[in-house]
Each structure stands twice: as structure tokens, then as C-alpha cells.
Amino acid sequence: MTRFVAVAAAVFLMFGLAGCTWASKQDENSSLSSNQTEPDTSKTQQNKKAVQFALAYTGDDTLNPYKAKTSTNLNLSCLLFEGLVKIDDEMMPAPQLAASLEYPSKLTISAVLRSDAKFSDGSPVKVEDVLYSFSLAKSSDNYKALMSNVKSAKKDGENGVLFTLNSADPHADACLSFPVLKKGTADRPVGSGLYIFKDGSLPQLISNPNNPVKPKIKEIRLLDVPDGDAMIYALESGNISFYYNDLSGGSIPQITTASISVELNSLVFVGINSFKSGLSNPKVRSAINLSISRAEICANAFAGRARPAQTPFNPSWKAASGLKGFDEREKIDTAVAQLNEAGYNKGNSQKKLSLELLVGKENSFRVAAAGLLKNQLARAGVEIKITELPHTELIKRLKSGKFDLYIGEIRLSANMSLKPVLARDGSAAYGVNRSGEAAAAYSKYLNGEIDMQQFTDIFTKDVPFIPLCWRNGIAAYNRSLSKVAATAFCAYYGIENWTYQ
């Protein structure tokens, strides 16, 4: 898992980045350097006595969520800052700094601030702070994709903000989860979260007295630990109490501590070149989909760290609860029948469907999925040639349009937008007919002309791409810690209820 990430954005992932290094960046809010390669076990007992609960952070990176480069520090953001809304454990936006939200029109969202909201320094959270933070979010690599459809923000009355959208989106209120910083504090950011960063020889987070929520864990020691094996060693040795890994590198760390699975918003899919002969026929695309066992891919290729993707929407998202779509398991007979109708057959009387499947060679999860897909499609008489490519070569092939199928992954934004895989400028829309039935239906859904199930019905018939699974990450922790939770949008979700004994 790389330390460098862009969060709260739709990110197209074609490969794992395990083993990356990072550039040193000294920031005003930290006096520590990141030259440590292995925790000092001689101080373990002393550390436990000083502060029982400890988390990892990166000393040479900032804790400003708009400038942070490491996933370690970005994960700490939800402890230090709040948004107008937060994304809850059902992946839904819930009011946080906002007292109320409403849509005056399809293209506007009105937010009214809580009158009692305060920053950690005791000053009130004002509209000016929200507008300042909005500007930072729009220009930040970490948040600009999340904010891409939010055109502008302006003061609306005494304590309100009016956001204007570029295009209709019924879930755009989730975009208002961007962290709110006190105006003018980007260098040493002041937030309103549960904790305050306290610098020094032993950096720590202390409970924010101006936040109405009082966590059971009052102090958290921060230990400067590099990612990778050193992080796991720090957890196993007791130097840190909690470790989060989104498993984007394609491997599962060997951990003996307690752990929970974390349902992510990362969709693994089969991209289809709808402009190629044969694949331009929706019956052929549907037949390929019907040949696939998502249950087998989740269990074997992803070692159970994934959930079957039966629709293009996350099954853990409350708004998509109960949606009907694709089957978890293959339907070979139906697939063969549809191939027959399209002029393909398992026998010799008709032509055989032969396709090339591209996959990034760096990610073992997706390479394993490619092997399973080859075997599954063979049962329907479809011949698959797997080509493993380095990331740069894979992207070149996709941009050139010289491909049949590929395995991709995309981390969707909090508003669950499918524009990255369906829109004309989508970062992962390679091979998708952006004027096709599914793309047109998605525009109608966003405009409120059809509901989510109606869009899904059209999507499953058109099959512009094939959703395979939604990946899971892992949160591991010291067995003295209880009531642990973690989500795709906050690694320390519900930390106010965690206890450490």
C-alpha cells in the first residue's frame, strides 16, 4: 500500500504501488523526521506507560488535509477536522457542522451552520471559514475530484452557504464532507474535530474541549513510523495500537493481532471496448457477464476480502439497499444461448469468440482475477488470452483503443458518482460508449427522470462495463482495544466509543 494517495476522489487504479518511497517534506506542525526504519523496541514499555493508546503518523508530512501526501496523515484528518457533513457507517451523509441541508433546486444546495460549532481554539465556525476551506478543497489534489461538480459557494444569509453545482446530482450533499479549517490557518491548521494536535518531543492528539462529543480515549500518542513492514512491526510489538490498510497493493499483510474487515468504496470491474466488432453487441457483453461467477472471484482471487458487485452501486451504501442487478454466480446456459444468437457457438459450425484481457502485472489480486475469468469464460466457449502489462504500457493500450477487455479498479467519491466510468471525460471510461443507453440513462437518473432501480435495469441490459466486486480493506488493532470500527471514509470511525484497557 503506497503512502501517497489522493482521498475523497474517484481514483482510477490499474496497479498496486507496494514498495514506493517518499520525498521528505518538513512541515511547520511537526519537528520530527521520518528517518526511522524500525520502531525502537527498547522504549516500548516506556511508551505504553506514557500514553497507552498510540497511532502512527508521518513526521515529515503535514496534517493539513489539503496538502498531506501520505495516507497515514490523511487518515488522521477525520480526528482533527469536521465537514458540513460526515459520511456515516452506511456511506450516507449526516449533518456535522451543518445544522440543516436542503436542495432549493436541482443545481443548488443550501447549508446552515450550527450556531454552537466552535474550532479547537474556541472561536466560532463561520461562513467565511467554510468558503476558505471550499477554495482549498477545489485546488487540492486530495479533494478536487470530489468537488469537481460543485461549481461555486457563496454566503447565504447570516449563517448559511449556498453551493451551486455544474450539473444535477441527487447525492451531491456528500461532497460537503470536505474538512473545514479556520480561515488563514493552512500552515498550522485549526479544526473542530474530536482532537487537537500537540507538537513536541512526544507529539500527541489531545481531546478537544470545544467539541461537544467527548471521546473515552483522551490522549493519543503519535509515533513516526514508515508504512509497510515497519508499520506492521510497530503494531505487533505494541508500539502502535491500530493499523489500517486498504490492501490496494494487492497483498494481505500477515498480522496476528485482532482485526476487522473494512468495506471500501473501490470497484473492481471488467472494462469492455464497446467499439470493437462483436463487443459492440450488448448481447455479447451480456453473455460475457453471465459467464462470470463473482462469488468465486471474491472468494479466491481476493481471498474473501471483497463483496460481489451485482450493480454499479456499492451494496454497503444505504441508498442502494435492495437494488436488483446481476447474479453472483454464472449462468452458462443463458450465456451460450446469447452467444448463439450473436453468431458465436462452442461448436465448429459457428465462429469462436476470442478476446484479449489486459491486466496490470503489479497487482496480484487482479492478476488472479484474470486467471479465474479466463477459466470461467471458457465454460461458455469464449477464448481469453491474458496479457499482463506494466502500468504505463497498459494505459497506452487503453488510450489507443487497441484492446478488447481489461481489469480496472476505481475508488468512487462519497457522492457515488459513476461519471468516471460513464461520462465523456471519465478517468476510467475507456471503451465505454458514452452515448450508449446506460450513459444516457445515468444522466436521466441524475436529473430525477428515472429512479435508481430503473437506471440499474438499463445498465444490466446494456452492460457498458462489468462490475466484479467491491474490495475490502483491513483494520488491525491491539487486543486491549474494544468497540473498534472503521469505514472507507474514516479509518477511526466512532473513535469516541473506543476503549483501551
> Could you tell me whether strands 354-360 and 383-389 are parallel, antiparallel, or unpaired per DSSP bridges?
parallel
The pLDDT value given to residue 347:
55
The pLDDT value given to residue 200:
84
Write the DSSP symbol of residue 494.
T
Residue 207 cell numbers, joined: 481531546
Cα distances from 364 to residues 249, 294, 303, 371, in angstroms, run 8, 17, 11, 11
Does 17 score more than 50 pLDDT?
Answer: no
Taking residues 72-96, report their average pLDDT: 98
Domain count across the chain: 2
User: pLDDT category, 473, cuts 50, 70, 90?
Assistant: very high
Taking residues 359-380, report their average pLDDT: 98
| Same domain? 459 vs 385 | yes
**Helix, strand or coil, per DSSP, at residue 265:** strand
Instruction: Please give the mean pLDDT across all residues of the chain.
Output: 91
Residue 43 cell numbers, joined: 522504549
| Same domain? 489 vs 376 | no
Of 173, 194, 197, 201, the residue nearest 185 (C-alpha): 197
User: Is residue 306 a part of any domain in this protein?
Assistant: yes
| Same domain? 292 vs 418 | yes
| Same domain? 434 vs 299 | yes
Taking residues 219-234, report their average pLDDT: 94
Which residue range is the domain that position 18 belongs to? 1-74+194-257+478-501
* CB-based contact 171:110 (threshold 8 Å): no
Helices (H), 16-67: 44-50
The pLDDT value given to residue 32:
27
CATH number for 40: 3.40.190
User: Is residue 370 a part of any domain in this protein?
Assistant: yes
Helices (H), 159-257: 229-236
CA 44 to chain centroid, in Å, comes to 33
Beta bridge partners of 307: 470
User: Is residue 205 a part of any domain in this protein?
Assistant: yes
In the block, residue with C-alpha cell 517518499: 22
| Same domain? 323 vs 464 | yes
User: Is residue 164 a part of any domain in this protein?
Assistant: no
Element (H, E) at 410: strand 405-411
* CA–CA dist 193, 315 (Å, integer): 29
* Residue type present at position 466: I
* Residue type present at position 244: Y
Q: How far apart are the first and last CA of the chain?
A: 30
The pLDDT value given to residue 227:
86
Q: State phi, psi for 442 to the nearest 5 degrees.
A: -65, -40
* CA–CA dist 4, 175 (Å, integer): 22
> Could you tell me whether strands 499-500 and 93-95 are parallel, antiparallel, or unpaired per DSSP bridges?
unpaired
**Contacts of 350 by beta carbon, 8 Å cutoff, 6+ apart:** 340, 343, 344
* CA–CA dist 243, 494 (Å, integer): 15
DSSP for 308-335 reads E-SSSS-TTSGGGTT---S-SS--HHHH
Angle at the Cα of 247 from the Cα atoms of 491 and 289, rounded to 5 degrees: 115
DSSP for 231-258 reads HHHHHHTTS-SEEEE--TTS------SE
Does 57 score more than 80 pLDDT?
Answer: yes
| Same domain? 328 vs 202 | no
| Same domain? 303 vs 211 | no
| Same domain? 365 vs 494 | no
Residue 279 cell numbers, joined: 463487443
> Could you tell me whether strands 160-165 and 195-198 are parallel, antiparallel, or unpaired per DSSP bridges?
unpaired
User: Is residue 92 a part of any domain in this protein?
Assistant: no
User: pLDDT category, 201, cuts 50, 70, 90?
Assistant: confident
The percent of residues in the chain predicted with pLDDT above 70, rounded, is 89
Stated pTM of the model: 0.89
User: Is residue 153 a part of any domain in this protein?
Assistant: no
In this predicted model, which residue has the larger pLDDT, 374 or 22? 374
User: Is residue 498 a part of any domain in this protein?
Assistant: yes
The number of C-alpha atoms within 13 Å of 320 and in the hemisphere containing its C-beta is: 20
* CB-based contact 421:412 (threshold 8 Å): no
247-275 pLDDT, tens digit per residue, is 999 999 999 999 999 999 999 999 999 99
> Could you tell me whether strands 242-245 and 465-477 are parallel, antiparallel, or unpaired per DSSP bridges?
antiparallel
| Same domain? 386 vs 497 | no
Taking every pair of Cα atoms in the chain, the longest distance, rounded to a whole number of angstroms, is: 79
User: pLDDT category, 106, cuts 50, 70, 90?
Assistant: very high
User: Is residue 54 a part of any domain in this protein?
Assistant: yes
**Helix, strand or coil, per DSSP, at residue 245:** strand
CATH number for 332: 3.10.105.10
| Same domain? 223 vs 336 | no
| Same domain? 225 vs 277 | no
| Same domain? 416 vs 449 | yes
